Structure 1
């Protein structure tokens, strides 16, 4: 039996945030069918009625998970494409931070939401919209550095579909060591944009992700 995540305290109904966190963990572990009120209450060591102090029903909780996914993954990706960069290679390395920092882009949540969308038509619509927004932001990033719209779109799709495909293949996280993966990223940048990453840009990128120097 799963141990409660928090200690039950008489009269305490928890917080909205801990219910969302418990639902998030259940979604990652068991898919959308695992996100149910009673199992979550048991997981948290709270009563079922405590849930209704924060959410009107299960759908309200599911909408909170969708909002988390939209804000974290789509919102952060769009913002990262708009971050300052002097060159397209630097802009793509800024984007690559998303794939390496779960606080910026949650690949496990992305995988879980995409699986969930297979059985939820309304979520599938939101997922299609998220894909359009993200690809559009990537295209705008290329156009900002002088790429023709048609080429910018193809390059944007190449980056996006490569990463989404990577996420779809690795439910439990990357199977390859992080160090070698980081070392290859400047080569991916060159493939994606047709320009080599400078030594200074590579150094700044590796400084943000020091495992790259250790090959771990």
Structure 2
């Protein structure tokens, strides 16, 4: 620029003056911190999707309402998922892994004989809560499977894996194959069906009857 006076050689500029006590690095750290806070973890989209599924079926799993529930913009969704279908698939993947391999790993980690492992499994089944392991997701996916063959196939795979694990434990102390199958079916049906039973249990509470049932299955 004509008339400009350069007080330093070309190619050199004064170091920027920071207005923060820690200099320029602090600004970078602050930016990273902001990004870390505002970026919603992928798993939260999946969990919120499962909550929506439990509340209103697959039709309720829509991007904009999920973003509103999470308090973020829709742009965050597309940072993880190509489309709504990708989220639905990951919801099913997450649920399948959680209710089969993850549960089995937790039961096996506690050690003990087959009865001890079954008792631990029953305890986990009766106390599991949340959008993934809770019964609401299980029931919602069963309802979804009635209208979607791909989901129905997934559900069969999950149920067969659960039954296979029950069978592997009951077989160790039940010699009669028929007895094994009866126990497997009763234990599994109890997990799913007890939420639909409104009847009173006579002189017993529901919790007392469930405890008696566990003892009977483990005898």
- Structure 2-normalised TM-score? 0.69
Equivalent in the alignment of 1:36: 62
Show the counterpart of 2:97.
71
User: Structure 1 161/188 Cα, relative in aligned 2: closer, same or farther at 3 Å?
Assistant: same
Aligned counterpart for 2:154 among listed residues 111, 121, 126: 126
State the superposition RMSD in angstroms.
3.0
Runs of 4+ in 1 over 6 A off after TM superposition: none
Of 143-152 and 126-135, more deviation after overlay is shown by 143-152
- 1:44-77: CA deviation from partner (whole Å, max 9, x where unpaired): 3333232111101111111121122112212244
1:52 aligns with 2:78: yes
Residues 92 and 13 of structure 1, relative CA distance in 2, 3 Å threshold? closer
Q: Does 1:116 align with 2:141?
A: no
CA distance in 1, matches of 2:213, 2:181: 17
Aligned residues: 178
Provide closer, same or farther for how the CA distance between residues 69 and 87 of structure 1 changes in structure 2, counting only shifts above 3 A.
closer
Q: Which runs of 5+ in 2 are unaligned?
A: 1-33
Which residue of 1 is the match for residue 15 of structure 2? none
Q: TM-score, normalised by structure 1?
A: 0.70
| Structure-2 change in CA distance of 1:16 and 1:81 (3 Å) | closer
Instruction: Tell me how far apart the structure 2 counterparts of residues 37 and 136 of structure 1 sit (CA, whole Å).
Output: 36
| In 1: Cα distance, 2:122 partner to 2:92 partner | 23
| Runs of 5+ consecutive residues of structure 1 not aligned to the other structure | 1-8, 196-216
Shift of 1:120: 1.6
Higher Cα Rg, which structure: 2
